[in-house]
Amino acid sequence: MANNPGTAAPFEEAGSRETTEGRVFTVTGGDWGEVVDAVAQADDERIIVNMGPQHPSTHGVLRLILEIDGETVTEARCGIGYLHTGIEKNMEFRSWVQGTTFVTRMDYLTPLFNETAYCLAVEKLLGITEQVPDRATVIRVMMMELNRITSHLVALATGGMEIGSTTLMIYGFRDRELILDIFELVTGLRMNHAYVRPGGLAQDLPPGAVDQIREAVKLFRSRMHEYDKLATGNPIFKARLVDVGFLDLAGCLALGATGPILRATGLPQDLRKTDPYCGYENYEFDVAVADTADSYGRFLIRLEEMRQSLRIVEQCLDRLAPGPVMVGDKKIAWPAQLAVGPDGMGNSLDHIREIMGTSMEALIHHFKLVTEGFRVPVGQAYTAVESPKGELGVHVVSDGGTRPYRVHFRDPSFTNLQSMAAMCEGGQVADVIVAVAGIDPVMGGVDR
C-alpha cells in the first residue's frame, strides 16, 4: 500500500521500499485460521441475475432469473410473455380459413406444423378428414418433414453459436437456405406460409418443384457427414454438452416434456408412430432415441431425425400422384388452382372469368366464401402432431359460426421450458445456455 501521512507507523515492521509513487509497505496477511473465521462470519449473500430478455445468448425474448452462488446456479426461473402476440385471441375474430395466417406465425420456425395441426382439427369438426385428397396429404407430410429439417438446423446452428462454434452456425444456416428456397417456390414465402388450408392446400406444387426437391435432398444428404466431423466426435463440443442439462425419464414425464428431450431418455415416443396422422403409418422411418438424457443426446437425436426426414421426403416424392389438392365440397373449398398474375398476386384469371361471366350463383358463392367464410358444426376437437420440438396439440371449439369460438394450442416450447429449472439448478452459469439451447424454445409459440 502507498504511504499516506499518519499511516506509516503501524507498518514500520512490515518492510518497505521507495518507489516513484512514494514509500510502499509490504503487509502480510493474518493467520489462516483467522481468515477462515472471517469468511465464516461474512454474510452469505446470493446474487440474483437477470439473463435477458435481450441477452444475445438466449433464444428469443426469453428472460431467465437466476440465483447464483459464485458460479453455481441455486435457483432458476423463466420469465415469459414479452412477445405477447395474442394470436389465440385474435383468431376468435377471424374466419376459419383466416386462422391459418395466424397459427403459422406462432412457432415461426415450424409454421407448417402449426398449420397442419390446426387444419386437421377443423377438418375433424367438419367431418371431412377422409375426404382430403391423397395428393394434398402427401404434400403436407413432405412439407412438414422439410420443415422439421429447417427447425433442427436452426437448433444446431444457434446452439453452436452460443457455445462458440461459429462454423456450425454457418453450416446450419447455409443448408437451411436450400429448403427455404423450396418453400418460397411452393408457397411463395420463406416463412409464415398459410399454405395448408382446411380441406387441403392453397395450391398445388408448381412446375419444377419435384426436381428441385430431389436435388436438394441429394445435396443435403451429401453434406450430413460434415456435422459429424465438425461436432459429433469433437472432444471440445462433447465436453460442453455431455452431462449438461440432465433430465431423466421420470423428470420428463412429471414435467410433460416431449420431443428430443423425452427421446433422449431412451423412450421412443413419437406421435408419427404411436398415434399416426396424415398417413404416417405408411412411411418407413426410425424413431431417433438416445440414452444419455443430456444436451448431447438431444443433439444426436436432431441430427438423426434430419436423416430420417430425408427418407420420408423421398418416399413422398415417389408417392405423388396426379389429383386435386382440395376437397370437392365447394361450400368449404377455396380455389386451389391459382396462377400468379402480373401484379405478383395469386389470381386465377380463368376462374375469375368463369364466375364473373358465366355464373352469377358462382360469383355470389365465391363472395360469401371469401368474406364470410364457411360454417363449422357445433363441437370441439383435439388433434396433435409431432413437431420438431415435441407434441404440438390444438383444441378447437366451434359454436356453429363462421369463426372459432376458441382455439388453444399445446405448444411444446411452452411445456418444455418447465424443465429449465430441473436442468440448470446445481450446475454452472455457463451451462444454462447449453441447457436452454438443448430445449430449443421458440418464444412465438410460448407467448401465443
Residues 373, 95 contacting (CB under 8 angstroms): yes
Q: Domain 84-332+374-446, CATH 3.40.1780.10 — does that match?
A: no
Whole-number pLDDT of residue 332: 83
Exposure on the CB side of residue 32, measured as CA atoms within 13 A:
0
Cell 361450400 belongs to 331
pLDDT band at residue 125, thresholds of 50, 70 and 90?
very high
Domain parsing of the chain, residue ranges: 1-30, 84-332+374-446
Coil, strand or helix at 11: helix
Query: What grid cell was written down for 283?
Result: 412411411
pLDDT band at residue 335, thresholds of 50, 70 and 90?
low
Whole-number pLDDT of residue 11: 43
Q: How far is CA 356 from the centre of its chain?
A: 44
Residues 106, 444 contacting (CB under 8 angstroms): yes
Amino acid present at 375: R
Coil, strand or helix at 193: coil
Whole-number pLDDT of residue 301: 93
Higher-scoring residue by pLDDT: 60, 141: 141
100-114, 188-202, 342-356: the lowest-pLDDT one: 342-356
Residues 193, 111 contacting (CB under 8 angstroms): yes
For the whole model, what pTM was predicted?
A: 0.83
Helix axes 209-227, 166-187, angle to 10 degrees: 170
- At 354-401, the pLDDT tens digits run 666 677 777 777 777 778 888 899 999 999 999 999 999 999 999 998
Whole-number pLDDT of residue 5: 47
- Cα–Cα distance between 95 and 101 in angstroms, integer? 10
pLDDT band at residue 7, thresholds of 50, 70 and 90?
very low
- At 50-102, the pLDDT tens digits run 887 765 545 668 888 888 888 888 888 888 888 788 899 999 999 999 899 99
Mean pLDDT (the chain) is: 84
Whole-number pLDDT of residue 340: 56
Say yes or no to pLDDT of 44 above 80: no
Whole-number pLDDT of residue 2: 46
Coil, strand or helix at 201: strand
Q: Which of 19-23, 60-64, 107-111, 356-360 has the highest mean pLDDT?
A: 107-111
Higher-scoring residue by pLDDT: 354, 148: 148
Q: Are strands 72-79 and 63-69 parallel, antiparallel or unpaired?
A: antiparallel
